[in-house]
């Protein structure tokens, strides 16, 4: 019973984290009017990495890395850097409502495929049905029946698919890294290395210009950095360690509702029936995946 209560608290934290992620799509759309994707990506990681220094000191966790843990940090940094570039590019040219629904819908599908390939197991019936619902929901939101190559590249949807795939790799890497490096240390080095990886892409930009921007920029930047990146991502990393990559990724399905609400309120983006139906299917997928009682093998 104690273990159940412990997981209940984690579930609540994951839901709050997902709400912050839903809001982040609106934040990113607003930030895109101020700075380029490369500048936003660099500063987001720089601030996130720095914020973990006092956290590591307070929790007395060692920042040391072994050769094995370094491999996971590098993989995590590459994945999350690619995610953020696609995230800011996609929201700049596309709709936040679409990105906020497509990415969390497709992510568990990619994560599940990666996880079962690594574990070499056959999915349970409920898992397969749940993930199929997520795939159908994503197809509805993207309106795949209207797709052509030009629309895929100019609408931002291709970037959203890249977001889903790169985050799936990050999810699996985080789950496997738990045996070699503490969570907070992993987060610190992943964000710090990601800042270094993204910095070369800012050479044609005035990176310090952000300090001249108004309070609207800083409100959204702080939310997307500390609310979404530091808090929400760390909670998600922790969830993958405790619950496993497959089950933790299922909570991402709860992002679409908050993403839709925030985008409609603050961005005045339209709500389409295909988006609503796709979101409902995604929520049904969460229920089916989390109802599975099977104990997952270590990944």
* Predicted local distance difference test score (pLDDT) of residue 146: 67
Q: Which residues contact 147 (CB under 8 A, 6 or more apart)?
A: none
Tell me which DSSP letter residue 118 carries.
H
pLDDT per residue rounded down to tens, the chain (299 residues): 444 456 788 888 998 998 998 999 999 999 999 999 999 999 999 999 999 999 889 888 888 888 889 999 999 999 999 999 999 999 998 888 888 878 877 777 788 778 778 877 777 777 778 778 877 877 777 777 666 656 555 667 788 889 989 988 998 898 888 889 988 899 899 999 999 999 999 998 899 999 999 999 999 999 999 999 889 888 887 887 788 766 776 677 678 778 888 998 999 888 778 777 877 786 677 667 656 544 333 32
Q: Decide if 4 is inside a domain.
A: no
Q: Decide if 2 is inside a domain.
A: no
Q: Decide if 298 is inside a domain.
A: no
* Predicted local distance difference test score (pLDDT) of residue 295: 36
The torsion angles phi and psi of 266, rounded to 5 degrees, stand at -95, -25
* Predicted local distance difference test score (pLDDT) of residue 191: 94
Q: Decide if 51 is inside a domain.
A: yes
Q: Decide if 299 is inside a domain.
A: no
Nearest to 175 by CA among 118, 120, 224, 231: 118
Q: Domain count of the chain? A: 1
Q: Decide if 1 is inside a domain.
A: no
| DSSP of 149-208 | HHHHHHSSHHHHHHHHHHHHHHHHHHHHHTTTS-HHHHHHHHHHHHHHHHGGGGTTS-GG
Q: Which domain covers residue 15, as residue numbers?
A: 11-290
Q: Decide if 3 is inside a domain.
A: no
Burial of 51 (0-12, 13-18, 19+ CB in 10 A): middle
- What is the average pLDDT score of the chain? 83
Burial of 12 (0-12, 13-18, 19+ CB in 10 A): exposed
Neighbour-count burial for 58-84, b at 16+ CB within 10 Å, e otherwise = eeebeeebeeebeebbebbbbbbbbbb
The torsion angles phi and psi of 63, rounded to 5 degrees, stand at -85, 5
Rg (CA), the chain: 18
Q: Mind listing the pLDDT tens digit for each residue in 214-242? A: 999 999 999 999 999 889 888 887 887 78
Nearest to 233 by CA among 19, 9, 21, 6: 21
Q: Decide if 295 is inside a domain.
A: no
- The CA–CA distances, whole Å, from 238 to 3, 37, 113, 177, 230 equal 16, 27, 21, 11, 12
* Predicted local distance difference test score (pLDDT) of residue 299: 28
């Amino acid at each position: 019973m104690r273990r159940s209560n412990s997981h209940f608290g984690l579930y609540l934290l994951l839901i709050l984290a997902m709400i912050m992620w839903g809001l982040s799509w609106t934040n990113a759309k607003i930030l895109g009017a101020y700075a380029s994707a490369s500048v936003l990506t660099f500063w987001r990681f720089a601030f996130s990495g720095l914020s973990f220094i006092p956290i590591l000191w307070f929790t007395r966790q060692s920042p040391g890395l072994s050769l094995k843990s370094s491999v996971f940090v590098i993989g995590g940094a590459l994945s999350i850097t690619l995610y953020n570039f696609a995230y800011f590019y996609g929201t700049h040219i596309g709709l936040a409502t679409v990105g906020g629904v497509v990415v969390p819908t497709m992510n568990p599908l990619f994560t599940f495929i990666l996880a079962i390939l690594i574990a070499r197991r056959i999915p349970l019936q409920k898992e397969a049905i749940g993930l199929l619902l997520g795939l159908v929901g994503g197809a509805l939101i993207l309106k795949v029946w209207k797709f052509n190559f030009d629309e895929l590249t100019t609408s931002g949807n291709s970037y959203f698919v890249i977001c889903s795939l790169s985050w799936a790799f990050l999810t699996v890497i985080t789950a496997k890294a738990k045996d070699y490096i503490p969570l907070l240390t992993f987060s610190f080095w992943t964000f710090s290395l990601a800042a270094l990886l993204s910095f070369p892409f800012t050479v044609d930009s005035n990176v310090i210009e952000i300090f001249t921007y108004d309070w609207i920029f800083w409100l959204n930047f702080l939310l997307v950095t500390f609310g979404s990146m530091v808090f929400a991502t760390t909670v998600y990393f922790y969830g993958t360690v405790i619950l496993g990559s497959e089950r933790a990724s299922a909570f991402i399905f709860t992002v679409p509702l908050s993403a839709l609400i925030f985008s409609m309120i603050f961005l005045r983006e339209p709500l389409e029936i295909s988006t609503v139906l796709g979101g409902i299917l995604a929520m049904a997928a969460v229920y089916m995946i989390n109802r599975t009682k099977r104990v997952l093998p270590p990944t």
